[in-house]
Amino acid sequence: MRKVRNRALSVIAIALVCAALTGFFLFRYFTQGDKWAGSVYNSDAYAGGRLRAGTVTDREGEVLYKAQDGEVRYAADELTRRALLHVIGDRAGNIGAGAVLRFASQISGYDPINGLWTPGGEGGTLALSVDAGASRAALSAMGNRNGAVVVINYVTGELICAVSAPGFDPENPPERPEDASGVYLNRGISATYTPGSVFKLVTLTAAIETLPDLFDRDFHCDGALYVGGGSVTCPDAHGDMKIEDAMALSCNCVFGDLALELGGETIRQYAERLGLTDSVELDGILSAQGSFEIAPEGSLDLAWSGAGQYETLVCPLAMARLAAAIARGGTAPELTELKTGRESPGTRILPEETAERLSCVMDYCTAKTYGDQNFPGLDIRAKSGTAEVGDSQPHAWFVGFNADPAAPYAFAVILENSGSGAAEAGPVANAVLQELVGGG
């Protein structure tokens, strides 16, 4: 019998397998349970594709979305609903980047101890980092123009505003989705645009780091720079100037010349280092990826690419992140849509000295061209862009930040086919920041 008993230990092996598999499952449960619970296949979290229970608020606690017993209610006023549509998401789940889909387990109140059980079945409350007031201000200021407004708190990395147009009222969604082309996209995060002159920030960075005498050089503009049978043109002949003025006047000839001197490969490297050709991560989703094509050496295309034309495309979120990095002295904050209030350690993408110089040049741009009086109470350092897009009106860009530690906001505004960057997009940025500063 002792032999048989020894052989019975083979059953212990099976029991051990069972225990090990249980342990493995528990490990998965504690590491992936939130994804399982928030999955749209979970009928405890969803009813007919809508969350059963839970609340989403902005950073001040204003209720933007409330689900109860499978009934979903958005904010009471239409402006708020429209301004936050792309951040929250729609009922039908067409807006994939919406918080309702991405943070379903938190909204439903999931935690590994209680699962989706919440006292009274109320679900959970998710506080987003966005500011509803700023979002309303942004959409109002945009008027009926399409485009996006992205604002980041550059200390914490929290996304304060991500308004996109066109959109719709989630309480009154388009009946036929095929008529609704483009309304589901958050253009600040999931679209790319020709940058135009805001890309001069990249060319300038490359020049600062590559050409030691940049700030001592004298530049000259006759209104056109002839290259390889064509020309880079400016609206006016800017005459003699230093690099700061070239930036403030947004002189295409100077930046075309710098691009030819630096070479396409160098500019591409800086576009990449500054995070414009990659996706930006936002709580697990990726922004649209920008691109920079290297034009042949000495070509007209290369000259234009130094001024942000040619084939270059950037995502507004990536531009706002670059502005945030300049504001912070060279480190890009980790971005989030969730209210954290914690300082983000950031990732260095620029040497501190270069960031300082860029900041000074942008300060000079505002003082000289955009006008400090247009941004009362703020210390705006920015770069505008008027991006030529074929035969239509150019895209209006305004990218920059408020250099006040008490109101640390970086922004990127893009208005499609709306004309001058400084004249059109600048006031939108101002409207949003005034709301943020005034709102405390």
Partner 1 sequence: MEILISLSRYILPALGAVIVFRCAVSMLSGRADSEVWGTLTLPGGRREELRNWENIVGRSGASDVVLDGKSVSGTHGALIRDAGGNWTVHDLHSKKGVKVRGKAVSGPTAIRTGDTVTFGGVTTVFTAATASDQRERAKSRRRPGARVSPSLTLMLLTLFTALLGLSYCASDWEDLNNAVPMAFLILIGLMWAVYAVTRSLRRTGFELETLAFFLTSVGFGVCASSAPGEIVKELVCLAAGVVLYFLIGVSLRDLALVKKLRFPMAAAGLALLAFNLLTAGSIFGAKNWIQIGGVTFQPSELVKICFVFSGAATLDRLFAKRNLLGFLLFSAATVGCLAAMSDFGTAAVFFVCYIVIAFMRSGSFATVLLSLGGTGFAAFIAVTARPYILQRFATWGHAWDAPNAGGYQQTRTMAAAASGGLFGLGAGKGRLHYIFAADTDMVFGVVAEELGLILAVLCVTALIVVALFAVKSAGGARSSFYAIAACASVTILLTQLILNVFGSLDILPFTGVTFPLVSRGGTSLIATWGLLAFVKAADARQNASFAIRLPKKEKKKSGGEDG
* Residues in contact with partner 1 by the rule CB under 8 A: 1-12, 14-15, 17-19, 21-22, 24-26, 28-29, 33-34, 36-37, 39, 41-45, 110-117
- If the CB atoms of residues 116 and 246 are measured against partner 1, the closer one turns out to be 116
Instruction: Compute the least distance from the CB of residue 40 to partner 1, in Å.
Output: 9
Q: Which two tokens stand for residue 210?
A: 């590559």
- If the CB atoms of residues 126 and 247 are measured against partner 1, the closer one turns out to be 126
Instruction: Compute the least distance from the CB of residue 44 to partner 1, in Å.
Output: 4
Instruction: Compute the least distance from the CB of residue 116 to partner 1, in Å.
Output: 4
Map tokens 């500063």 to a residue. 437
Is 194 exposed, middle or buried, given 0-12, 13-18 or 19+ CB atoms closer than 10 A?
buried
| Whether 323 contacts 349, CB under 8 Å | no
- If the CB atoms of residues 15 and 406 are measured against partner 1, the closer one turns out to be 15
Instruction: Compute the least distance from the CB of residue 123 to partner 1, in Å.
Output: 12
User: What is the spatial distance between Cα 262 and Cα 354, in angstroms, rounded to a whole number?
Assistant: 17
User: What is the spatial distance between Cα 202 and Cα 361, in angstroms, rounded to a whole number?
Assistant: 13
Instruction: Compute the least distance from the CB of residue 6 to partner 1, in Å.
Output: 6
- If the CB atoms of residues 112 and 143 are measured against partner 1, the closer one turns out to be 112
Instruction: Compute the least distance from the CB of residue 23 to partner 1, in Å.
Output: 10
- Residue 78 host element (H or E): helix 78-83
Q: Length of the chain in residues, anyone?
A: 440
- If the CB atoms of residues 20 and 360 are measured against partner 1, the closer one turns out to be 20
Is 15 exposed, middle or buried, given 0-12, 13-18 or 19+ CB atoms closer than 10 A?
exposed
Instruction: Compute the least distance from the CB of residue 32 to partner 1, in Å.
Output: 8
Name the DSSP class of 366: I
Nearest to 384 by CA among 353, 332, 427: 427
Strands (E), 28-81: 46-47, 50-51, 54-57, 63-68, 71-74
> What is the β-pairing status of strands 219-221 and 224-227?
unpaired
- If the CB atoms of residues 17 and 92 are measured against partner 1, the closer one turns out to be 17
- If the CB atoms of residues 2 and 176 are measured against partner 1, the closer one turns out to be 2
- If the CB atoms of residues 44 and 71 are measured against partner 1, the closer one turns out to be 44
- 421 forms beta bridges with none
| Whether 246 contacts 208, CB under 8 Å | no
- One-letter amino acid of 373: Q
Instruction: Compute the least distance from the CB of residue 45 to partner 1, in Å.
Output: 7
